[in-house]
Amino acid sequence: MRGIDLTEPASPATAPVGNVASSPVRDLLALTAHPEVISFAGGLPAAESFDLDGWRAAFSRALSSDAGRSCLQYGLTEGNLQLRELLAERMTGRGLITEADGVVVTTGSQQALALVATTLLSPGAVVLVEQPTYLAALQCFAMQGARVVPVAGDDDGVDPGALEDAIIRERPAMLYLVPTFANPTGRTLSTARRLAIADVAAAHHLWIVEDDPYGELRYRGTPLPPLAATGSAAGAHTIYLGSLSKICAPGLRLGWLRAPASIRSALVIAKQAGDLHTSAIDQAAAAAYLAHSDLDEHVRRLCKMYHPRRDAMIAALPEATPEGTRWTDPDGGMFVWVRLPGDVDTAAVLPFALRKDVAFVPGAPFYAGDPNRSTLRLSFTTYGPEQITEGMSRLGAVLRQLPTRP
């Protein structure tokens, strides 16, 4: 199939060389280069949403002044101070009171995740996760030789009682969560759960890693406070990961972490060894962009663009899937999570979908341990509503052909 074997995506649990395993999501990205394929796989923001003029101006500004020369030089590992101030201001505005000193700029939030894994996890350490969870996080944990243990939950997210049991039983090093519009499920942890989870974790001095790349992409309902701003301990044991990838542009590779002082210096040392610092030019351009463009207005435009795309996908699902299929109904973010009826393996279905020029990600690699192979992830942000409808119709032609369980 176009030279890429997609029939058997590597699971993060199986490591072909050393402690590393490939990502089927990343491998699938190669497919999106074929214009005939409608790919619901990659989790790509809409390219037409990018503020190309704004970013061209921001880079020009960063490289124009006398300061231009300094952003070509080595910089501090923690990041550009102006950018850290602007990010801290932005987090504070969203209810998470933050000072510039508390922020470390990273090469995408993927790097923040890798730094947290390097710093908190030694081989054999236990990481608690929701099930299913972000694939590339599972890969990071596997590369550190950690043991990943899922915590039971439901449509409101991880169950606080089950979390406390797991903490006592497993003595974990950290709890990893995408509390808002999770990848891959699109689910959001309810306010009551946030409070309960923050308090349970604080009582046991457990590190929470709150991964929040999608939180600003809300299409309905009321914004919830970040987990890092929740509970009596108010984030004293929470490392918050932010990103410009979904609200500005992923090609920038600009993310950040907000961490208590007790762990921050260790994270900075890990970053020194990892890449010394993030591109000083991109950081200066981002500072110029945040200072001179209206990112809030841009995010409002993004939400206006993505909301009907979400609706188009949800509207197409009943027709495109066999009876008994279930799916999530996200209030924001980028993903819908689908569970087919019966014991079908969606990895085996994918080649048939690709023959119809449509792609998705099979669900198994998002599981720690025993996967539900009848699941799949669909992203609704890359295409307009018409193309989504067309892609879902192609997908339906495959899924409706599946033999139903006798």
- Assess 48 for contact with a copy of itself (CB under 8 A): yes
Minimum distance of a copy of itself from residue 204's CB (angstroms): 20
User: Which one, 1 or 20, has the nearer CB to a copy of itself?
Assistant: 20
Site for a copy of itself in 17-46 (CB under 8 A): 17-23, 26, 29-30, 42, 44-45
Tokens describing residue 302? 């993004």
Return the SS3 of 332: strand
Tokens describing residue 8? 């058997």
Tokens describing residue 22? 């490939």
Site for a copy of itself in 82-101 (CB under 8 A): none
Q: Which region, left, alpha or beta, applies to residue 64 given φ > 0 means left and ψ of -120 to 50 means alpha?
A: alpha
Angle at 380 between CA 378 and CA 384, to 5 degrees: 140
CA distances for 197 relative to 340, 396, 398, angstroms: 30, 39, 41
Amino acid at 17: V
- Assess 124 for contact with a copy of itself (CB under 8 A): no
- For residue 243, give the nearest of 281, 190, 197, 299 by alpha carbon: 299
User: Which one, 17 or 168, has the nearer CB to a copy of itself?
Assistant: 17
Minimum distance of a copy of itself from residue 214's CB (angstroms): 15
- Residue among 105, 146, 201, 280 that touches a copy of itself (CB under 8 A): 280
- Residue among 84, 253, 309, 394 that touches a copy of itself (CB under 8 A): 253
- Assess 139 for contact with a copy of itself (CB under 8 A): yes
- Residue among 13, 63, 97, 305 that touches a copy of itself (CB under 8 A): 63
Site for a copy of itself in 372-401 (CB under 8 A): none
Minimum distance of a copy of itself from residue 104's CB (angstroms): 14
- Assess 129 for contact with a copy of itself (CB under 8 A): no
- For residue 133, give the nearest of 179, 70, 191, 84 by alpha carbon: 179
Q: Tell me, what DSSP letter sits at residue 402?
A: S
User: Which one, 327 or 367, has the nearer CB to a copy of itself?
Assistant: 367
- Judged on CB neighbours under 10 Å (0-12, 13-18, 19+), 3 is exposed
Return the SS3 of 289: helix
Tokens describing residue 156? 């409101």
- Residue among 70, 325, 389, 393 that touches a copy of itself (CB under 8 A): 70
- Assess 265 for contact with a copy of itself (CB under 8 A): yes
User: Which segment (209-217, 230-238, 268-276, 315-323) binds a copy of itself by CB under 8 A?
Assistant: 268-276
Q: Which H or E element spans position 169?
A: helix 160-170
Q: 118: which residues sit within 8 A by CB, 6+ positions away?
A: 144, 270, 274
Interacting residues with a copy of itself (CB under 8 A):
16-23, 26, 29-30, 42, 44-45, 47-48, 50, 52, 55-56, 59-60, 63-64, 68-77, 106-108, 110-111, 114, 118-120, 122-123, 136, 139-140, 143, 245, 249-253, 265-266, 269-270, 272-282
